[in-house]
Chain A
Amino acid sequence: MANSSLLTLTDCGLYCPAGDFHIDPWRPVERALITHSHADHARVGMKSYLTVSQGASILRARVGEDAAISTVAYGESIPLGDAHVSFHPAGHILGSSQIRVESRGQVWVVSGDYKIAVDATCEPFEPIRCHGFVTEATFALPIYRWKPQEDTFAEINQWWRANRAAGKASVLYGYALGKAQRMLAGIDPSIGPIFTHGAVERLTQIYRDAGVPLPPTHYAMSAGKKDFAGSLILAPPSANGSRWIRRFGDFSTALASGWMQIRGARRRRAIDRGFVLSDHADWPGLLNAIRATAAETIWVTHGQSEPLVRTLIEQGLDARAVQTEFEGELDEQAALPEADETADA
């Protein structure tokens, strides 16, 4: 990465030599700055973690009680070696950040995962001007243009109501961290009771403790046999087809994900409905966000990096794909695989 001494890529991840720290490393390092707590960005085994205060409890739930976690406030600039770093909202999930790194007049921003669309459960994305911008590309194709989230929530409500009228439960799959809470905040809780999978319940409580208003939920396993007809059950996608799910009797299934924009992605998972809802930027969102940084150098980390890089190059920017171990929105599995599903099974 000859053109930038501010950030380099090592075997462990993105590294800043001036500040001697890694951002979202995938192998154990001394000091890890964490953009957000999805599994591919926040891994166990770091000597120390630094994240924004809103994200600390989630990070602790993810990397363990004994981990050394320090926090900063959004916008607070702190010195690390010869660099200054600050965290700024990325709009992805609660406590998600873009990390701004400055040293000797050079400014780079590592955006982790981000979205531009509104989300009642987290701070909105904030464009930061910089020389170099490190972006994701999970949905970097123009077929990914999200409809307004109100439309999606209206579809979900309608589906839930129809199932309720038919005496069925509605099992709605989405990431246990972020997506589930955003859906809770967006759906109409007056339709019926809402039950949760253990992984969802645990993280939802962390959101509530952080002051995010969410409708009441019931942990699906908390008390003996219940009648789930007419209720909504929020669960991670990995619960689909599991033994855990059978207890809900007659039910319809749906998955909320950006991948549901594509018919094939829904059809291959044996689910009834797909709702388009993503915590990642869509194609116009990515291009607008990148433009707003005024950055001339763009590193594209994960997802559909090739079309994004090529488009940016055609716009005259210095763009390149950087091979990381980030995964973006996984179509096929839950964000927190270790979240106590066995206890739920």
Chain B
Amino acid sequence: MKQFAQLFDQMDATNKTNAKVAAMERYFLEAPPADSAWAVFFLCGGKLRAPVPMRLFRAWAIEVAEVPEWLFDDCYEAAGDFAEAAALLFPNPNATIEDDQPLADWVENRLAVLRALPEGEQKLLIFDSWNRLNARQRFVWNKLITGGFRVGVSKALVIRAISLASKIPEDVIAHRLMGDWAPSTSAWDQLRATDNTDATVSRPYPFCLAHPLQALPDSLGSVGNWLAEWKWDGIRAQVIRREGKAFIWSRGNELITERFPEIVELAASLPDGTVVDGELVGWQSDCVLPFADLQTRIGRTKLSKSILARVPVTLLAFDLLEFNREDIRGLPLRERRAMLESLGIRLSPAIHAASWEDLTSERLKARDLGSEGLMLKRLDSPYNVGREKGIWWKWKIDPYSVDAVLIYAQKGNGKRASLFTDYTFGVWSDSKLVPFAKAYSGLTDEEIRDVDRFIRQNTLEKFGPVSTVKPELVFEIAFEGIQQSTRHKSGVAVRFPRMARWRQDKRPEDADSIETVKALLEAS
């Protein structure tokens, strides 16, 4: 654990991306292969299935800390991280012991076996582990148990570090890491293998991502060089047909095949050796359903007949990555699109426009179609890994916006621990403010500090972690969509709300009313 905790500390002790990558590169060169494999797994956000029930882990952390339960909860709220609170509350925080056992040993002989043990033995193993470690190592160990291992590195940076340590190109590493990558010595060796014919049957390609278009579209040159499509609000997915099997991958790198039987059926109709990129959307009477409807079935592992009937899903295909068992990502979009059309599946339609002006007016129809705006893709571009600029643009329609008053606040997690950063906003309904949206993002760090300070000095009441704040601050809340909702007090649910601006020029009485908000509902 020593070496891995040191890696964690080194990455945690710098704010510079290059220093973090260099620390990982060093680790990958020095650590035993099995440790490197596990480090990759955890640094990429991997997590073992709950090694112990959180309820028990919490109870043991409280027992060993010798504090009342409520105080433990207060500490958790202040630290914003369960693993950290538990580590900080452990007795003798300054004891100087070191553990030299390799990470793989900790994971394979402790973390991974926990799940199958009876409760009493789980407890013994956890307590024994805590006692072998120093404060920093204990924190890392707790993180391995609770998951959510964040040290400010993205998967892309981990990939870069592996590439630097192994001299294998980043995109090959990225490809090899996709899917069900199971860490082991041999998995690590395969990751670094120079032979490149190892793609397994289920493996998707890294997704090509779009940048928001901030400039005017005519800065992109001739409209004829671009493919315009609607930007759908669904689940970005790759549908894979290989060796008679179907796989569906989400952009979050999750295998979601079982959740979409309709799409598995669709995949069965594709020729072997085909990979399609597209958006999964709720679909009824030839129309896209709102994302909120799709959301009702995303989380479910068991799909009832009624939910399948209520929210049928389709794939709006827009790209072809593999055809006739060949990786065609290097071909220009124009050619890939032609091959995609030959498959005869439902496509995200191309929007034909003679000029940017035409396209600009087409874009105004987005909301009626349940779309978020337009995608612009350069017709001569290959399908690239990640977010290369200038190939794909998302040109969203302008968001809705409403002026609302800050009424409740809650402390954030992780980076925002013990700062009030999670806000609820209200709009007027007669002479009362009704909560209408929650928002967490959009303010600068400086504004967050000022708002945090205001909240601390103007808290009227507390209900658990939620503070009722004197209604004084007005914010412009921007959001992408609005729907009727019976679950929300205001009667509406908004999508992607965020703080567009702090309206310091406005008083609470200048904020909008629920009637104004509901008028948007009719317009939408």
Contacts and interface: CB of A to CB of B under 8 A. Distances in A.
Interface of A: 141-143, 145, 147-148, 151, 252-253, 259, 261-265, 267-273, 304, 306-307, 310-311, 314, 325, 331-333
24 contacts: A142-B67, A142-B71, A142-B89, A143-B88, A145-B93, A259-B418, A262-B84, A263-B79, A263-B84, A264-B415, A264-B416, A264-B418, A265-B417, A265-B418, A267-B152, A267-B414, A267-B415, A268-B445, A271-B15, A272-B15, A273-B14, A304-B74, A306-B74, A307-B74
Contacts of B94: 147-148, 151
A262 B13 contact: no
Contacts of B304: none
B160 to A, nearest CB: 20
Contact of A325 (B70, B74, B457): B457
B78 A143 contact: yes
A333 B449 CA distance: 9
Contacts, number: 81
Interface of B: 12-16, 65, 67-68, 70-71, 74-75, 78-81, 84-85, 88-89, 93-94, 152, 412-419, 445, 449, 452, 457
Nearest to A273: B13
Contacts of A267: 152, 414-415
Given A263-B12, A264-B413, A143 B80 contact: no
Given A141-B75, A145-B88, A273-B13, 9 more contacts: A142-B65, A143-B75, A145-B93, A147-B94, A259-B418, A262-B417, A262-B418, A268-B415, A311-B71
Nearest to A151: B94
Contact of B79 (A151, A262, A269, A325): A262
Which of B13, B85, B413 has most A Cβ within 10 Å?
A: B13
Nearest to B12: A263
Chain B residues touching A, majority SS: helix
Contacts of B81: 263-264
A151 B96 CA distance: 12
A249 to B, nearest CB: 15
A141 B15 contact: no
A65 B118 CA distance: 72
Contact of A264 (B13, B14, B65, B79): B79
Contacts of A306: 74
Contacts of B452: 332
A141 B71 CA distance: 8
Contacts of B419: 268, 331
A243 to B, nearest CB: 15
Nearest to B419: A268
Nearest to B74: A307
Contacts of B414: 264, 267
Contact of A270 (B15, B67, B74, B417): B15
Contacts of B79: 143, 262-264
Contact of B85 (A143, A265, A325): A143
B13 A272 contact: yes
A67 to B, nearest CB: 26
A332 B456 CA distance: 13
B428 to A, nearest CB: 29
A59 to B, nearest CB: 24
Contacts of B412: 264
A269 B445 contact: yes
